[in-house]
Structure 1
Amino acid sequence: MVKLFCAVVGVAGRAFEVNIDAEKTVGDLRKAIKKENKVKLKNVDAGDLLLFLAKTTTGAWLTEVDVMKGVSDTTGLKLLDSAGTPLHDYGLSKKKLRSEVTKQHRKVKTTPVHVLAKLPDQGQQLGENVQDSLQMQRQTQIEITRLQAEMELVMDVLQHKKSKSYTDRELGRLE
């Protein structure tokens, strides 16, 4: 088992821990992160989470202080993009994460954060919703046009009279 400290991108707050076997996969880690954050990730499917190795290009881990300020940029961080890849292939194993967290680390909040979870792009979701709405609007307009044409045909077939209203007795009478 390996203890990973994780955080959600764009959400200032505390890091949370996930205990998981290093033989487990990225997909398993997504599910574990979702389980640990039922409220924050309430409307997000685990499979839609983007996971990043929280290690900078210099090789330093992001820290709790960074997370408390809010991490919003994942540029330069490694995307854990293969759901079936074991965590140890990304260096997330007990052997590779041997740094001990001391009282001093905890006091100044420099405990390393190993994984960042990013929510699906809300702009992309909004774009998809707008596209869906436009498509529905076009389909509705086509249906309205079809119904209007059908109504015109029905009106042409009906026997006409001067008044636009019909009583039961008058319906079907010729003028």
Structure 2
Amino acid sequence: MILRDGALYDPDLDRFFRDLPLNGVRSRHSLRAYGYDVLVWARFLSEACAKTIWQADRHDVLAYHRIRRRADAGQRISAASWNRAVACLERLYRWGVQEGLIAEAPFTHRAVWRQGHAGRRAQIAARNGAYEPAARRAGVSFITLDDYRRFRAIGLEGFFLTAAHAPAPEIATVSAMRCSPISW
């Protein structure tokens, strides 16, 4: 819940937080992140725009983006943090529309198209325009097959870098065989 001057900020917002576990947000870390993102957004709306959370519009989202992403280096958040906040706020406003609290969310959406069968384009979904595409989606990088084989021989089987056929003396052969992914 979010409190203002010791009182509940908004009972509908409190209902949103209570409904989050039923809507797939169960981790206490995620719940805390949602609370933080909504709190910062509510403070911005209150102090900079003199609005409540349910009165926000597209222009408020643009102003919020300028402050959070274009501010000085010490106050600026990363694109990934921005996208996490947008996902949280989008869920909040979708919930608000479903509950009849607002007519529409303060975000603009654009159609996302993909190449379909037989060269036809198919619309996949509507993408929130506030997301930043520059955010890194995953930290996965791939290695070559030669690098993998070198890792397997040295890191898992315990062979020296120079002599691929001589196991390192400090690693027992049984351990090397057990740790090797191809020993079975």
- TM-score, structure 2 length as denominator? 0.28
Question: Which has more strand, going by share of residues?
Answer: 1
Higher relative contact order structure (alpha carbons within 8 Å, sequence separation ≥ 6) = 1
User: Considering only CA atoms, is the larger Rg found in Structure 1 or Structure 2?
Assistant: 1
